[in-house]
Chain A
Amino acid sequence: GNSVTQMEGPVTLSEEAFLTINCTYTATGYPSLFWYVQYPGEGLQLLLKATKADDKGSNKGFEATYRKETTSFHLEKGSVQVSDSAVYFCALTGMDSSYKLIFGSGTRLLVRP
């Protein structure tokens, strides 16, 4: 079935550093891909998404490009802030193209002032 693998954390960066969180996937068909973010003590919220190959999702300075050739959807941000400290989850749609999302294990990001 479909699955997603994220880099293990925690990722610790200084403010204004460049961020990359790796996400690769295994899927049949053409899944949609998502990044969700979970701030401390809260539920998840959608950060960005891409529905087909070469699409770039973007939001709040974060970007991710749907790369079918490398089965990847890496999350990037050019200059992180302390307020970006959170857990980031990569997700994709299930094998039957349903929107019962399959989530990665999450990557914790800690940004120091």
Chain B
Amino acid sequence: DAGITQSPRHKVTETGTPVTLRCHQTENHRYMYWYRQDPGHGLRLIHYSYGVKDTDKGEVSDGYSVSRSKTEDFLLTLESATSSQTSVYFCAISERETGELFFGEGSRLTVL
């Protein structure tokens, strides 16, 4: 199994609070992604990174920011959480741009 760890795995927070989700990989892969999974929508790309300090927006980036200061860590931040950001968040990594992604186990976020 690819070495991907997401933390926290579960979080409940209140509207307006900041939240940071962490993705840590031990594979030294170049590409990292954050997706959110919602019923009826499948997975939608939030942000991705193609190297240290190199990030770009995905399909649903509003309300989210990311940072990647080291190869192994990719952080997703919700500056002020809203109820619409209640979701399951998945981190994924890939060594090359082949479409073969390795996913973490997900982080379930509930915003009350």
Contact = CB atoms under 8 A, between A and B. Distances in A.
Interface of A: 6, 32, 34, 36, 41-46, 49, 89, 91, 93, 98-106
Contacts of B31: 99
Contacts of B106: 43
Contact of A93 (B4, B58, B99): B99
B84 to A, nearest CB: 18
B45 A100 contact: yes
Contacts, number: 53
B48 interface: yes
Interface in B19-67: 31, 33, 35, 40-45, 48, 58-59
Contacts of A6: 42
Nearest to B38: A105
A103 B99 contact: no
Contacts of A105: 40-42
A43 B102 CA distance: 8
